[in-house]
Structure 1
Amino acid sequence: MPFSSLPEHLADWGHRLTAAPIYLPAGDALQPATSLPFAAGYLVLMGESLSRQHLIATVDQLAERGVQWALLTPFTHVETEVVVLALSAYDRELVAWCKQQAWPLDAVHIEHLPTLSQPGLILMDMDSTAIQIECIDEIARLAGVGEQVSAVTAAAMQGKLEFADSLRNRVALLKGAPVTILDTVAANMPLMPGLTLLVDGAKAAGWKVAIASGGFTRFAGKLQQDLGLDHIEANEMGVDGDTLSGLVHGRIVDSQVKAQTLQKLQADYGIAATQTVAIGDGANDLPMLKLAALGVAIHAKPIVREQAQVAIRQGDLETVLCLLQAGTRIAELR
């Protein structure tokens, strides 16, 4: 089948690529195959408007680097189209190339993808990751100190301030605010798009899903109750009667605690190291992102996007489920 004869939009490829689960390039043609010839790395394209031109640009880039490829039959999850290329080599510079593309889709290059066919663990940040807000900023806004707290939050998430000290300083500004503010914020937390799809899909496959947050148990606990999460790790906001005390009780969940939580849950649940996923957006998420088999920066700060294995800029949390489904298809073909 001539490569150039395929429809422009990948959503229309399904009825053309039916002879086999894998296709190998042979000049301008795609030849069907039944087993993966390469497994040194993978390149995944995900989006709602994938086109043949995106794939051509990608394989041209692979050709420049001398990387051979095999195309898995594209699939669609909800509205996200997914194309997976199995590669003959893993190239760290290709990771940077994927992150730099100004496409209305996400390109990911990684050595290994976990599979939903085996037990696994997802550990995610909460604020601006599982939900669309920073809870402490919302509390501060209702308490009348929003601008002061938001400025410190932004600096901490960009890695410009030490997280534990910045958290104590922000919480101190909330002293005397009514406790009922917590209930107001908890009742109005907007979930990150794709969160429910990700959690439900992972849980249906028998995976464990947890939160490790530099935020607070009041909010993480509500998510745990609403979504059926297996574990939460978060901070305890101090209360003095009917008002906030301005203190944080106990150990602060900083970057190292997040990484330690990933290790502990992996051990507690008996999960293979190759089956761990971490998701976050701030600098204090980097250690757990680097520790996980699949570390995903979702709409992240620049420092996080640059250092993470995977940077999702266009899609939402559904893309993480798409990556796991891609890993499942790869495992079935190996």
Structure 2
Amino acid sequence: MFHAVLTSTREIADQVAADVAAQLPEAGEPRRLAPTGVEIPCAGPIFVAVEGADLNFVPSQNREKRMLIADMDSTMIPVECIDELADFAGVKERVADITERAMRGELDFEAALRERVGLVKGLHRDALEQCYAERIALNPGARILVRTMAERGAQTALVSGGFTYFTERVAAAAGFAINRANTLIFENDRLTGEVGTPILGRQAKLDSLEELADAGGFGAADVIAVGDGANDLAMVAAAGLGVAYRAKPALRDGADAVLDYSDLTALLMLQGIAQSDWVRD
């Protein structure tokens, strides 16, 4: 059996849920998870067109996961940190083009990262502080997602191809227990244009998933992973529930669930966790 999970950033009307249920094989009674989410038990996934909402099918067994592993840039936060840093250095257009191509899987991630960091060489540490203060914020639902899963006993890890300078702050703001990323190198409080090694990319994200799951005494089937770009593909494909969040085609095709119209609380609803059980500030 499966659950069809209908989510959006706007309220889903009962009639919309009923219309979807009428098209599903052996559909049960819709259950409202939140104003923005409904789940419907059914026999299996089929294509149903729904305007302005995401419809995903998840197996009914083992829905709630024991670990959340998430990308940061354009997933937990709405921007790419390196692109915003590049704006302070006056090279945003050039860097953003490299970022976009790397996230689509058109460029080698490690080489693209080195090139972009080289382009912001000389930036003072104060620019990074200003960048975080003015440009970085959590995406809607991020803190509720992380804190709810942590409160329910799940491990939470922010694993990014970005930089520890930002992941440490974003992890604290969202409530992640663990954060891993690349290290920017400073000399006299200015970026040297180099990044610490080894570089954390696609394989390192998968390795983190496997290592942390093993340390927790469970397997990848008990993990929910979320990202947006090609370097998240191995991690998302390996997880028991891999989610593509407003993602590039390279990731969408390998994910179990795709979210285009929902905020990050949809990851809770995919697991059957209703709004009444969400942890809020």
TM-score of the aligned structures, taking structure 2 as reference length: 0.89
- Matched residue type, 2:7: M
Partner of 2:117: 171
1:302-317 superposed matches below 5 A = 302-317=249-264
For 1:247 and 1:112, locate their aligned partners in 2 and report how far apart those are by CA, in whole Å.
47
Higher relative contact order (CA 8 A, sep 6+): 2
For 1:123 and 1:253, locate their aligned partners in 2 and report how far apart those are by CA, in whole Å.
14
For 1:288 and 1:309, locate their aligned partners in 2 and report how far apart those are by CA, in whole Å.
12
Once the two structures are superposed, residues 242-274 of structure 1 have per-residue CA deviations (whole angstroms, 9 ceiling, x without a partner) of 210000111111111111110001011223433
Match of 1:150 among 96, 99, 103: 96
Q: Secondary structure at the match of 1:69?
A: coil
Q: Secondary structure at the match of 1:187?
A: helix
1:75 aligns with 2:32: yes
For 1:216 and 1:243, locate their aligned partners in 2 and report how far apart those are by CA, in whole Å.
15
Match of 1:228 among 159, 163, 175: 175
Q: Quick check: 2:146–2:174 contact (8 Å CA) kept in 1?
A: yes
Unaligned runs of 5+ in 2: 275-281
Query: What is the aligned length?
Result: 271
For 2:246 and 2:120, locate their aligned partners in 1 and report how far apart those are by CA, in whole Å.
28
Give, in angstroms, the shift of residue 326 of structure 1: 5.1
Give, in angstroms, the shift of residue 107 of structure 1: 0.2
Match of 1:86 among 21, 42, 52: 42
For 1:86 and 1:297, locate their aligned partners in 2 and report how far apart those are by CA, in whole Å.
23
Give, in angstroms, the shift of residue 114 of structure 1: 4.1
Once the two structures are superposed, residues 146-168 of structure 1 have per-residue CA deviations (whole angstroms, 9 ceiling, x without a partner) of 11100100100111111111000
Partner of 2:278: none
1:111-150 superposed matches below 5 A = 111-112=59-60, 114-116=62-64, 120-150=66-96
Match of 1:300 among 223, 227, 247: 247
Q: Quick check: 1:113–1:294 contact (8 Å CA) kept in 2?
A: no
Partner of 1:109: 57
Aligned CA-pair RMSD:
2.0
Once the two structures are superposed, residues 47-103 of structure 1 have per-residue CA deviations (whole angstroms, 9 ceiling, x without a partner) of 32234245424532x3xxxx43323x51233x323122232x4x5xx3xx35xx351
Q: Quick check: 1:124–1:280 contact (8 Å CA) kept in 2?
A: yes
Q: Quick check: 1:50–1:81 contact (8 Å CA) kept in 2?
A: no
For 1:113 and 1:299, locate their aligned partners in 2 and report how far apart those are by CA, in whole Å.
26
Larger Rg: 1
Match of 1:52 among 15, 18, 23: 15
Unaligned runs of 5+ in 1: 1-38, 328-334
**What percent of counterpart residues are identical?**
33
Partner of 1:210: 157
- Matched residue type, 1:309: D
Q: Quick check: 1:114–1:276 contact (8 Å CA) kept in 2?
A: no
For 1:102 and 1:170, locate their aligned partners in 2 and report how far apart those are by CA, in whole Å.
39
For 2:215 and 2:68, locate their aligned partners in 1 and report how far apart those are by CA, in whole Å.
14
